[in-house]
Amino acid sequence: MALSADQQEQLNSRLHHLLQTLDQHKHRSLIAQTLETLLNMAAADLDRLDWKILSAALQDLEQGFQVFHRYRHVRKISIFGSSRLPADSPAYQMAVGFARCVSQQGFMVMTGAGGGIMEAGNQGAGAAQSFGLNIQLPFEQNSNPFIAGDDKLIDFKYFFTRKLFFLRESDAIALFPGGFGTQDEAFECLTLSQTGKSPPIPVVLIDPPGVSYWQDWDTYIHKHLIAGGLISADDHRLYTITDDIATACAAISGFYQVYHSSRYVGDRLVMRLNQELTDTQVQWLNQTFADILIQDQIRKSGALPEEKDQQEPQPQQVQDQTEHLPRLVFYFNQRDHGRLNQMITAINQMEVADQDHYHPERK
């Protein structure tokens, strides 16, 4: 459909204003790169379908970025599981209890906004502590009544953009029994963790008492993947299996007790902590986890100068909230992510000063 004269004039005006003010924009280099990509595509002989995909994907991304931006300093937990389980099923009731537990700790919950386990997650957390990432399907996927109409409900056209936000925004993953979609989400999360394409996060697989869905799944993982040498022996440390709500909640909040977050600066992994470790504790880490280092040692540090250099200029009110945190810096082999998770667990179990006043729900 062609643009009207008014729409064309408005578009021209906005483009002109953007180009005139681009030098003052804090993300100018990335905006210029994006515009150059669009110009290159416009000059190429692309099909109309290609442009429809690009346009719809960008609209998905735009609304996702807009919704999540104001909650960027609150940790979020994605809850996955079957859309077909009724409200009186044990798994549904357990998902309600789990979502209520983590929301009371200050975490926010993300679900696919549909029925079953998704509905249970929104019900347990309540709309104020929930997001709904709905997908436009011809069946099965009307938004549930506990998130319908909320300004944190997002309707995605594509699965890939929806999945991007689930994984980008998640600080923890909770999986209940489910079908192909749940299995896909489980393996996607574990693949990204195993390959280091996502930062370390807790992944909790939750069975109702007396149900062995995830235990049987774990048996398959050990029998065919680990025993067959298809994954590393420590890769099972990327997830926790439980049939207890309190244990599931503790696995997530405990993950962020001392550990805060991590990022790479060049070849070095920079691990941010909520509290500083003692020299003796760091020495123990060097002795215990020397196998995951490719050179040098684990060293205590403050924020590295390169961390600031790699950020675009920002207004004072949104500058890096982690600059004050103590760090551990080391050359991780970028292969043994199960062992890295084991190291994070060990760090979280260490005695540190002011341990009773931490906020695992804050980024």
Nearest Cα residue to 199 out of 347, 337, 61: 337
Please say which residue of 254, 273, 293 terminates a domain: 254
Overall residue count recorded for the chain in this entry: 363
Residue 343 lies in a domain: yes
- What is the pLDDT at residue 141? 61
Residue 162 lies in a domain: yes
- Claim to verify: residue 244 and residue 290 sit in the same structural domain: no
Nearest Cα residue to 118 out of 159, 148, 161, 74: 148
Residue 9 lies in a domain: no
Residue 24 lies in a domain: no
- Look at the chain and report how many structural domains it folds into: 2
Distances (CA, A) of 13 to 9, 245, 299, 327: 6, 55, 53, 47
DSSP tag of 276: P
Strands 203-206 and 240-242: parallel
- Claim to verify: residue 295 and residue 216 sit in the same structural domain: no
Residue 209 lies in a domain: yes
Beta-carbon count within 10 A of 108 CB:
20
Residue 31 lies in a domain: no
Nearest Cα residue to 235 out of 101, 340, 306, 144: 340
Task: Find where tokens 């009307």 sit.
Answer: 142
Residue 193, domain extent = 76-254
Residue type, 328: L
- Claim to verify: residue 86 and residue 174 sit in the same structural domain: yes
- Claim to verify: residue 202 and residue 315 sit in the same structural domain: no
Residue 154 lies in a domain: yes
- Claim to verify: residue 187 and residue 231 sit in the same structural domain: yes
Q: Which tokens sit at 91?
A: 């798994």
- Claim to verify: residue 292 and residue 230 sit in the same structural domain: no
- In the chain the first and final C-alpha atoms are separated, in Å, by 44
Contact 149, 54 (CB under 8 A): no
- Claim to verify: residue 90 and residue 208 sit in the same structural domain: yes
Beta-carbon count within 10 A of 325 CB:
17
Task: Find where tokens 């442009």 sit.
Answer: 51
Residue 62 lies in a domain: no
- What is the pLDDT at residue 310? 57
- Claim to verify: residue 164 and residue 297 sit in the same structural domain: no
- Claim to verify: residue 246 and residue 230 sit in the same structural domain: yes
Task: Find where tokens 């983590």 sit.
Answer: 102
Please say which residue of 254, 277, 304 terminates a domain: 254
Could you give the CA distance from residue 349 to residue 255 in angstroms, rounded to a whole number?
9
- Claim to verify: residue 115 and residue 226 sit in the same structural domain: yes
CATH number, domain of 221, equals 3.40.50.450
- What is the pLDDT at residue 312? 44
Could you give the CA distance from residue 194 to residue 336 in angstroms, rounded to a whole number?
8
Could you give the CA distance from residue 283 to residue 297 in angstroms, rounded to a whole number?
9
Strand (E) or helix (H) holding 345: helix 337-348
Beta-carbon count within 10 A of 39 CB:
10
- Claim to verify: residue 249 and residue 271 sit in the same structural domain: no
- Claim to verify: residue 117 and residue 226 sit in the same structural domain: yes
Q: Which residues of the chain have pLDDT under 50?
A: 312-319
Please say which residue of 237, 254, 271 terminates a domain: 254
